[in-house]
Amino acid sequence: MNFIKVAAACPVTNVAHINFNVENIKDCINNALNKNCKLVVFPELCITSYTCGDLFSQQHLIEKSNLAIRRLCAFSKNKDILIAIGSPLVYNNCLYNCAYIIYNGTILGIVPKSYIPNYSEFYEKRWFTDGIDIKNKSINLTFQKNIPFGVNLIFTSGVFKFGFEICEDLWTVIPPSSYLSLGGANIIGNLSASNELVSKSKYRNSLIQNQSARCISSYVYSSAGIFESSTDLVFSGHLLISENGTILKQNNRFQRENEIITSIIDIDKLNNERLKNLSFRDSAKFLPFEVNEVTFNFIDSKVNEFDRFVHKHPFVPSDECEREDRCKEIFNIQTAALAKRLTHTGIQKSVIGISGGLDSTLALLVIVKTFDILNIPRENIITITMPGFGTTDRTYNNAVNFCKELGTDFREINIVDACLQHFKDINHLVEKHDVTYENVQARERTQILMDIANKESGLLVGTGDLSELALGWATYNGDHMSMYSVNCSVPKTLVRYLVQYAADKESSDKISEILVDILDTPVSPELLPKDKNGEIAQKTEDIVGPYELHDFFLYYFIRQNAVPKKILFLAKHAFKDIYDDKTIEKWFDKFIRRFFTQQFKRSALPDGPKVGSISLSPRGDWRMPSDASYKTWL
């Protein structure tokens, strides 16, 4: 597992007071070291301050800044942290705005700013020269010779590959970080001095998110703080750390003390995304330069305290507003997909089995929404409940009341007699509650639904969800089969929120009341007889394990291709207050065994829309042999 902790820092500075600035920079470095960080990125020109103006033409300022870099190199001796610090540099009678990359007493390389802004409030070209064409050069300073100099530098310690750009570089059409990422850099640092204007912080935030997504990288951004000159502009010390389109951490701007923010970066996640994304690989063909790789070795890159937030429910957004938007979007995708199938076939009726459980409830909500959009009467939705040996009054009443409140063509067909006859025909003892006993009921229900769909010229809509498909928790050629499946890429943890969303936002009081009770009902296929109190005896999560664990395993196994050791590590971190380690290991073992052995069911799935980042359709995201061995993963 390759995690690394990084920091963005904003020291208190005093314009042109180099000694003062260096002491605060040292304080931030020590703070980052105490937090076990292996990279700290400082603002642009923070040695001198960004707003020195024509003082940048003063030889004395440049000489003092060089001495400050020398002092920081000495200070960094025997410190296991990569430091990116902003300072001016004179090269061939030109002044460059540079990032000095320092490790363990040595300048590993110097990266010049590629693009020099000279518009609106910026007039950097008055002092600085752009470095976009500088590659494979070397610099000699009084205290160190042959320092690599150029925009094509990548600093590498094992799997950790660092690239750097400076402020305006990010705002350009093709930022240098795009090329550095294609060259292998998976952590980008930006040393910046971005002033504040109304709404600019939101735009900056969006730029960083999007660049980290396009580059499939981490992006560590540090901007100059409030102690820059306020003659015409104000700076806020904005600090952000992003990873592949997600902001992991950002600060409250306008702080008046030395500040750092830290976050743990998942390098394996980034590298795996790049491996899967063939467009990223193909783009590397157009890299306009050869990377100059500077190697060094961290003494110990281990993260001592793993404080990265790991969401227990990775398919479900944490933010309530984002979650609501997600639910609305998924309903739109599901209804658009079903509407297309209905209009293409010319079918004006649908058939669905309603159990009073979550999945069939969600599917019916989708059908109703689709029929309303297409102006097809709800009476054309044929809803069928099929009580069996394990059907409880609670689920039965919820199914009946829900369908009637929605105004569907509701029908009831009891399957007990048909199943008893079938047991007799195949010579199976009715007292033997094995897999045959359960599957007979599931297949009887599917046969009824299929035949009524034929009789009524309707489309049988399937109800099974992504989590059930992953575990193979479906009867082959039973509830596993339909004419179109609307829930096939919706995991169980998200099904709950979709039904809750419908209860809160899109339902009458009576329907909302029914939905809430369905949400409170234990998940069960109800294929075994009720208990002595008439309650559900067969609870799915008692048999296969908690769906929140299985959805977690599924996300990291499929979406990130994570190794078992990492999946278990993250699960134990995320669920540490809910399940003990042995419980997590037990259900992970169950997940792997069932995922591999049940592939044959996924190889014969009906059509259905992909709504999220994972689909197990054999025609889409997941193509796996049904006879692959799981033993390597256990």
- The confidence score (pLDDT) of residue 146 equals 97
- The CA-based angle 41-75-44, given to 5 degrees, is 30
> Is 475 among the annotated ligand-binding positions?
yes
Provide, rounded to the nearest whole percent, the portion of the chain with pLDDT above 90: 92
> Is 249 among the annotated ligand-binding positions?
no
Q: How far apart are CA 153 and CA 315, in angstroms?
A: 37
pLDDT, one tens digit per residue, over 556-591 is: 999 999 999 999 999 999 999 999 999 999 999 999
Identify the band that residue 111 occupies on the pLDDT scale cut at 50, 70 and 90. Answer: very high
> Is 92 among the annotated ligand-binding positions?
no
Task: Write down the catalytic residue from 5, 38, 64, 113.
Answer: 113
Task: Write down the catalytic residue from 28, 37, 38, 44.
Answer: 44
> Is 353 among the annotated ligand-binding positions?
yes
Identify the band that residue 121 occupies on the pLDDT scale cut at 50, 70 and 90. Answer: confident
Residue from 315, 340, 303 nearest 566 by CA: 303
Q: What are phi and psi of 190, to 5 degrees?
A: -125, 120
Which domains are present in the chain?
3-295 (3.60.110.10), 320-540 (3.40.50.620)
In one letter, which amino acid is 236?
S
> Is 359 among the annotated ligand-binding positions?
yes
Identify whether 44 is a catalytic site residue: yes
pTM score, two decimals?
Answer: 0.92
pLDDT, one tens digit per residue, over 244-289 is: 999 999 999 999 999 999 999 999 999 999 999 999 989 988 899 9
- The confidence score (pLDDT) of residue 453 equals 98
> Considering only 162-166, 251-255, 570-574, 620-624, which range has the smallest mean pLDDT?
620-624
- Tokens representing 586 are 């037990």
- The confidence score (pLDDT) of residue 537 equals 77
Task: Write down the catalytic residue from 10, 28, 52, 167.
Answer: 167
> Is 357 among the annotated ligand-binding positions?
yes
Identify whether 322 is a catalytic site residue: no
> Is 136 among the annotated ligand-binding positions?
no
Average pLDDT, the chain: 95
DSSP classification of residue 316 = S
Which CA distances in Å does 308 have to 4, 140, 311?
A: 10, 40, 10
> Is 463 among the annotated ligand-binding positions?
yes
Local structure of 326: helix, strand or coil: helix
pLDDT, one tens digit per residue, over 531-547 is: 878 887 788 888 999 99
Q: Is the pLDDT of residue 44 over 90?
A: yes
- The CA-based angle 442-444-449, given to 5 degrees, is 95
SS3 annotation, 126-154: HCCCCCCCCCCEEEEECCEEEEEECCCEE
pLDDT, one tens digit per residue, over 434-486 is: 999 999 999 999 999 999 999 999 999 999 999 999 999 999 999 999 999 99
- The confidence score (pLDDT) of residue 344 equals 98
- The confidence score (pLDDT) of residue 561 equals 94
Q: What is the mean pLDDT of residues 56-85?
A: 97
Q: How far apart are CA 542 and CA 534, in angstroms?
A: 18
- Tokens representing 535 are 């309650």
Identify whether 513 is a catalytic site residue: no
| Residue 230 CB coordination number (10 Å) | 12
Q: How far apart are CA 395 and CA 182, in angstroms?
A: 55
> Is 439 among the annotated ligand-binding positions?
yes
